[in-house]
Amino acid sequence: MTGDPDENQLWQTAQALNRAAAAVSPGVASLPPLLFFTDPVRTPRPWEVAARLPRGAGVVYRGFGRPEMADEARLLRRVTTARSLRLLIGLDADLARAVGADGVHLPERDLGRAAALRSRHPEWTITGALHGEASRPAPEGLDAVIVSPVFQAGGSSADRDPLGIAEVTRRVACLPLPVYGLGGITAETAPALADTGLCGLAAVGGVVRVFSAG
């Protein structure tokens, strides 16, 4: 960490959420407080951002089937290992095995794969996107879910209404496993989530803005 107040604010808020959630559910303590979600358009060189993340954070690499996925994932694995960061690969379990990642992140449509992946890789961290109604049963095999968009977001969530703090809090209470918030998470908006019960924060642009060189 540096002395940058935005870096400190985002990371400290994420850590505080993680500690509070761990007091209720001890398994939360093993999860990264902050997840950096990559995006080919918005984060074209994610390894440069990862190299500045605080130790103990995590990176969710999403290559979306692009030819350069394997090379980028290997580069991220080197950086995340050097920085003691958790590396999850979006959807592609074969790529996660090939680069020695720490687990996978599943889109909502593929949450049914979690149980089989857990059986084959009990050591992995497995997270999943859960945009739908929180009252339905969460799939088995997941360590945590990510709900979004918490606030007005960019990227693919730009046209979706934000959940807002009250709805995020309700979903956390309904779900039987740890929950991260994604969407519009920045150093400025994160403190408002202090009492939601989230286990941590996830972000794309909010991480890039405070952990990019220069």
pLDDT > 90? residue 7:
no
Region 179-208 average pLDDT: 97
Spell out the domain ranges in the chain: 9-22+32-211
Mind listing the pLDDT tens digit for each residue in 28-81? 999 999 999 999 999 999 999 999 999 999 999 999 999 999 999 999 999 999
**DSSP letters along 115-156, please?**
HHHHHH-TTSEEEEE--S-TTSPPPTT-SEEEE--SSS--GG
Whether the per-residue pLDDT at 135 is higher than 80: the answer is: no
Q: What is the mean pLDDT of the chain?
A: 93
**Token digits for 21?**
């959630």
Residue 60 Rama label (left phi>0; alpha psi -120 to 50; beta) = beta
Write down the pLDDT at residue 213.
Answer: 66
Q: Between 157 and 68, where is the model more confident? A: 68
Locate tokens 């949450």: which residue? 111
Q: Which fold has domain 9-22+32-211?
A: TIM Barrel (3.20.20)
Bridge partners (DSSP) listed for residue 146: 129, 180
